[in-house]
């Protein structure tokens, strides 16, 4: 278990008072709780804030599930952990379920917490010669980890600009301070980043150039041509079938968390997050949290049109997806969310 994981588990004792909790009978005895190993790539990223916040508020245990957080560098590593059996569920980007379906791997999203991706393609302050996405051809670009959502966002950006999706070299720089350092040192010409790193970099470089941004619904639609879901809990479909109780309790906790987020201020939310995540600048972190609240789903539901949009985007530049006969409806289920909503008293 990582230092982050241990910190989260300790912080999980800080349970908050949430009105919706009354719908639950209270946490089960520890020995009765199903245990879930939850892999997360880049936990300090605000895109994953609901996953961490649920633990900070004690909502996993409140819902009756014992969650072990496994901190990894990027979404591709989290996916590998689940495929390899060292984790049960990924807190990561839904798009991986579609990509892997094309390779014959059955994965299923059980709740969506980010209604858009929050991915940002940013130019290094040391590379003013980069004026557009086409200028990245032949250059090295930072991503959280090869094969992660950040990597595929770069590939799609190049494809959309009329270039070979693989015409830029990529290097894993993570999503936090290492990514900021790589950008400021100029070891990468650009990077696909997320908040709070983007906000931190912008605060130090007022003329920071952004080539593509999906931190708002409007910008996401401009980039992808429609709504495009981001972060979700997903697992191998077989695991979901065999562990419906654990899956349900995990989703119960996330629905309570999303309700909590949308009934509290940015200050309240930031105050609950680990100090390590604030990169020594709580004010900038708060700014990033406040700007990101609209990114978080209010329902947890997967919009069928959003799922189809993910498939259609990948089918444009990934031959495996284009050639495979994928039933997108098998890559997600809303059943657990609908059940959780009834327990929490939420109205969808």
> What proportion of the chain, given as a percentage, has pLDDT over 90?
83
Tell me the C-alpha distance between 229 and 97, whole Å: 12
| Average pLDDT, integer, range 260-277 | 97
Q: Is the distance from CB of 126 to CB of 184 less than 8 angstroms?
A: yes
pLDDT score for 1: 41
| Average pLDDT, integer, range 212-234 | 95
pLDDT score for 22: 38
String of DSSP letters for 281-313: -HHHHHHHHHHHGGGB-SS-PPPHHHHHHHHHH
Give the CA-trace dihedral at 190, 193, 198, 201, to 10 degrees. -40
pLDDT score for 16: 35
Each residue of 130-159: pLDDT tens digit? 999 999 999 999 999 999 999 999 999 999
Give the CA-trace dihedral at 31, 48, 89, 226, to 10 degrees. 140
CA end-to-end span of the chain, whole Å? 37
Q: Is the distance from CB of 55 to CB of 69 less than 8 angstroms?
A: yes
Residues of the chain with CATH 3.40.190.10: 3-116+228-344, 120-213
Each residue of 70-84: pLDDT tens digit? 999 888 899 999 999
Weakest mean pLDDT among 4-18, 73-87, 96-110, 115-129: 4-18
Residue 203: pLDDT above 90? yes
CATH architecture of 3-116+228-344: 3-Layer(aba) Sandwich (3.40)
Tell me the C-alpha distance between 261 and 272, whole Å: 11
> What proportion of the chain, given as a percentage, has pLDDT over 70?
90
Residue 288: pLDDT above 60? yes
pLDDT score for 280: 80
Neighbours of 315 (CB within 10 A): 17
Residue 25: pLDDT above 90? no
Q: Are strands 107-112 and 120-123 parallel, antiparallel or unpaired?
A: unpaired
Each residue of 250-263: pLDDT tens digit? 999 999 999 999 99
Neighbours of 209 (CB within 10 A): 16
pLDDT score for 9: 38
| Average pLDDT, integer, range 306-328 | 95
| Average pLDDT, integer, range 206-221 | 96
Tell me the C-alpha distance between 151 and 77, whole Å: 13
Residue 2: pLDDT above 80? no
pTM summary value? 0.88
Tell me the C-alpha distance between 149 and 130, whole Å: 22
Residue 244: pLDDT above 80? yes
pLDDT interval class at 107 (50, 70, 90): very high
Residue 6 or 326, more confident: 326
Residue range 120-213 in CATH 3.40.50.300: no
Spell out where the chain has E strands. 35-41, 66-72, 89-93, 107-112, 120-123, 140-143, 169-172, 190-193, 210-213, 231-236
Q: What is the mean pLDDT of the chain?
A: 90
Buried b (16+ CB within 10 A) or exposed e, 123-144: bbbebeebeebebbeebbbbbb
- Residue 343 exposed, middle or buried by CB count within 10 Å (0-12, 13-18, 19+): middle
pLDDT score for 64: 97
Tell me the C-alpha distance between 186 and 188, whole Å: 5
pLDDT score for 31: 56
pLDDT interval class at 346 (50, 70, 90): very low
Angle at which helices 3-11 and 49-56 pack, to 10 degrees? 50
Helix (H/G/I), strand (E/B), else coil: 189? coil
Each residue of 108-132: pLDDT tens digit? 999 999 999 999 999 999 999 999 9
Residue 24: pLDDT above 90? no
pLDDT score for 168: 98
pLDDT interval class at 184 (50, 70, 90): very high
């Amino acid at each position: 278990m990582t230092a982050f994981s241990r910190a989260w588990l300790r912080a999980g004792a800080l349970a908050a008072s949430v009105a919706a909790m009354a719908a639950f009978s209270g946490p089960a005895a520890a020995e009765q709780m199903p245990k879930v190993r939850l892999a997360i790539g880049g936990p300090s990223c605000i895109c994953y804030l609901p996953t961490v916040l649920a633990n900070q508020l004690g909502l996993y245990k409140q819902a009756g599930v014992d969650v072990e957080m496994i901190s990894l560098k990027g979404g591709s590593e989290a996916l590998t952990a689940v495929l390899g059996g060292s984790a049960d569920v990924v807190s990561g980007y839904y798009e991986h379920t579609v990509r892997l379906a094309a390779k014959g791997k059955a994965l299923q999203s059980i709740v969506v917490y980010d209604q858009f991706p929050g991915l940002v393609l940013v130019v290094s302050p040391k590379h003013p010669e980069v004026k557009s996405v086409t200028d990245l051809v032949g250059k090295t670009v930072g991503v959280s980890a090869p094969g992660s959502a950040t990597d595929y966002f770069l590939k799609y950006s190049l494809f959309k600009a009329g270039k070979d999706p693989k015409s830029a070299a990529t290097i894993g720089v993570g999503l936090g301070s290492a990514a900021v350092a790589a950008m400021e040192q100029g070891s990468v010409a650009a990077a696909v980043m997320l908040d709070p790193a983007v906000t931190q970099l912008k605060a130090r470089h007022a003329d920071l150039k952004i080539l593509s941004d999906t931190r708002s619904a409007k910008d996401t639609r401009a980039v992808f041509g429609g709504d495009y879901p981001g972060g979700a809990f997903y697992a191998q479909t077989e695991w979901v079938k065999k562990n419906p109780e654990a899956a349900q309790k995990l989703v119960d906790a996330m629905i309570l968390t999303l309700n909590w987020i949308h009934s509290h201020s940015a200050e309240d939310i930031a105050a609950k997050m680990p100090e390590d995540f604030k990169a020594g600048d709580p004010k900038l972190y708060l700014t990033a949290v406040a700007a990101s609240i609209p990114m978080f789903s209010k329902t947890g539901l997967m919009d069928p049109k959003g799922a189809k949009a993910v498939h259609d985007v990948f089918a444009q530049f990934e031959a495996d997806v284009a050639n495979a006969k994928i039933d997108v409806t098998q890559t997600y289920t809303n059943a657990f969310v609908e059940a959780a909503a009834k327990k929490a008293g939420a109205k969808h």
